[in-house]
A and B are shown apart, each in its own frame.
Chain A
Amino acid sequence: MSFPVPLLALPVHPRRCRRCYYVLEHLDADRCPECGTGFDFADPATYVTKPPFVWWRYWLPGVALTVGLGVVLYAGLAAAYGYGVAVTIVLPLCLGAILSYGLKTRVWIKIIWSLPALGFIILVLWAVGLGISSGQLGGAVITVGVGTFCGLILFSIALLPMMVGLLIGHLLRLRMKKSAWDQRHYLPVLLLALIPVFAAAVEGRYDALKIVSLDTVAIIDAPPDKAWEAIQFYEEVKHAPPLLLRLSPSLRPVRTSGSSQKVGDIKVCYYERGKLTKRITEVIPGRRLAFAVVGQDHVENENVQLIGGSFELEPLDGGRRTRVRLTTTYRPLLAPRFAWQPAEALAVHTLHGHVLEGMRREAEGVE
């Protein structure tokens, strides 16, 4: 179909009254119909081309989109694939790019907005985690929310990739501003949101990472037989645990049942949420006590697969003191390892330290 008269695009920024922002295009008069201010299209000083600035329209859409997408993608991808590289690194990077692409403002303001945006996403995941920590689906553990400690670690890990993403999004926005591509307002955002989905699908779940053994050593001023008698599991330590171990309800012990005296004994440890079942596998009186974790029910199931642990005692100074080595063995479920391993080590060593302190107090007769 052809038209005899040229079809012309209308101005994107029509000329407006400089006082009341009335659109002045194609008016027959030379005065604003609303406020009466005169104008002359030959004199740019008598009109403006931009509407009044609406600050929340600059920031709110981009921030809201990032937060909404972040919550959905974190929860969905973590439930489907666990916390792997895609969720831990790629997703915050893409969210940073989406935030930066959507905000029509300076880089430093984007950086400022990224912190509460990421914080709010993690907060929502934490709130979900309060109600639904993990479940089983087809035999695999699915993760929906995060615990307090994991949420804090996730926030810390996500910051750097998010900052990188902010820069990428900013550069992309500058590039697209010069482009005439009419889908630049939404298609890059859609693609950025899909990248972590594809990455997670390619990466898959981490169910077979390398087994890790972490040990902590303490010296007790007591002979080995007293140290042996003082051996206790985390749930049996009498003094209050440090804050780190109180953050998660699945690490707040309530009671224990069973025995741990000889090989084959079963000990069940109950927490505010979940329980661990341990079976004694080795007993060398005065030297070594080892156990295997044969049941792990809602105790950080989405983060680690606990395998077992051991207490090893070595006499020092002619038997006047004892070196105690406490070992925990587990299979991690979180990736990338360089991001999560330091936090895991912190948690394990904190727990070991708490147990060893309990042993020390009892063996040395300290209140």
Chain B
Amino acid sequence: MTVNLSPTGRVDCRAVIALPMSAVTAWGQLRDFAKYASHDHFHAGFEVEGGRPLAGARLRILHRYGPFRVHRVGRIVRWTEGEGYAFSDLSTAGPRRGFPHVLSYRLEAVDERRCRLHLRVGGRWTAPVPRWAARAWLWWVFASVATRVENELVAFKVARARARP
């Protein structure tokens, strides 16, 4: 996992998660957009234009910071069936304010039983805090997202193996 924050505020977080399942199986779960896009601590809910996640659909993202709720907006910038998707998360105050960023998931098949999930967050840090603090914050949030996604998928695989006759 890498977390980069440039002096100009450019954010680039990347993680590669090795999954013990086929890309088809992993995609079968990642398609649950509301669930996997909510693995960020602060994403409390999603509303999608027309109720169907596909490329270009507008989003309204409910963020929750403790007792505080904030609505942000975005768009599903990419939806490739079987491969992955990406969506933007922007402040209602404008596209250059409030940490505009894009979160993306992309699956890469390794063989019939393994795949890799490429997780990426790219954007621009705008909060006036020391760079080391911003980097620590990004590291913590991104690591928890990656961990939760991995745990969710691996737990699914284990549970499905037990549930199948």
B-binding residues in A (CB < 8 A): 1, 3, 5-12, 14, 17, 19-23, 25-26, 33-34, 51-54, 57, 182-183, 187
List 24 interface pairs A-B (beta carbons < 8 Å), by A numbering. Answer: A5-B58, A6-B50, A8-B49, A8-B50, A9-B46, A10-B47, A10-B48, A10-B51, A11-B34, A19-B164, A21-B28, A21-B160, A21-B163, A22-B28, A23-B29, A26-B52, A26-B54, A33-B28, A33-B82, A34-B25, A52-B159, A52-B163, A53-B159, A182-B62
Q: How far is the CB of B116 from chain A (nearest CB, A)?
A: 18
Q: How far is the CB of A187 from chain B (nearest CB, A)?
A: 8
Of B31, B59, B69, B82, most A-chain CB atoms within 10 Å = B31
Please indicate the chain B residues that have their CB under 8 angstroms from the CB of A11 in the complex.
34
5 more A-B residue pairs beyond the given contacts A5-B50, A6-B50, A10-B48, with a C-beta to C-beta distance below 8 A: A10-B53, A20-B25, A20-B160, A21-B28, A53-B159
Query: Which residue of A has the minimal Cβ distance to B34?
Result: A10
Contact A52 B162 (CB under 8 A): yes
Contact A8 B28 (CB under 8 A): no
Contact B156 A21 (CB under 8 A): yes
The 7 A-B pairs at the shortest CB distance, nearest first, are namely A8-B51, A22-B28, A7-B47, A52-B159, A10-B34, A52-B163, A54-B159
Give the residue of B31, B92, B162 whose beta carbon is less than 8 angstroms from that of A1. B92
How many B residues are at the interface, by size bracket? 35 or more
Contact A23 B32 (CB under 8 A): yes
Query: Which residue of A has the minimal Cβ distance to B31?
Result: A23
Contact A3 B156 (CB under 8 A): no
Please indicate the chain A residues that have their CB under 8 angstroms from the CB of B82 in the complex.
33
Q: How far is the CB of A105 from chain B (nearest CB, A)?
A: 16
Please indicate the chain B residues that have their CB under 8 angstroms from the CB of A52 in the complex.
156, 159-160, 162-163
Q: How far is the CB of A21 from chain B (nearest CB, A)?
A: 6
Contact string against A for B residues 34-69, beta-carbon threshold 8 Å, 1 for contact and 0 otherwise = 100000000011111111111000111010100101
Please indicate the chain B residues that have their CB under 8 angstroms from the CB of A9 in the complex.
34, 45-47, 51
Query: If A21-B160, A34-B25, A183-B67 touch, does A14 touch B32 (CB 8 Å cutoff)?
Result: yes
Give bound CA distance, A9 to B45, whole Å. Answer: 8
Contact B155 A57 (CB under 8 A): yes
Please indicate the chain A residues that have their CB under 8 angstroms from the CB of B73 in the complex.
1
Contact A5 B49 (CB under 8 A): yes
Q: How far is the CB of B15 from chain A (nearest CB, A)?
A: 22
Please indicate the chain A residues that have their CB under 8 angstroms from the CB of B62 in the complex.
182
Contact B33 A10 (CB under 8 A): yes
Query: If A10-B53, A20-B160 touch, does A34 touch B28 (CB 8 Å cutoff)?
Result: yes
Contact A7 B159 (CB under 8 A): no
Q: How far is the CB of B61 from chain A (nearest CB, A)?
A: 10
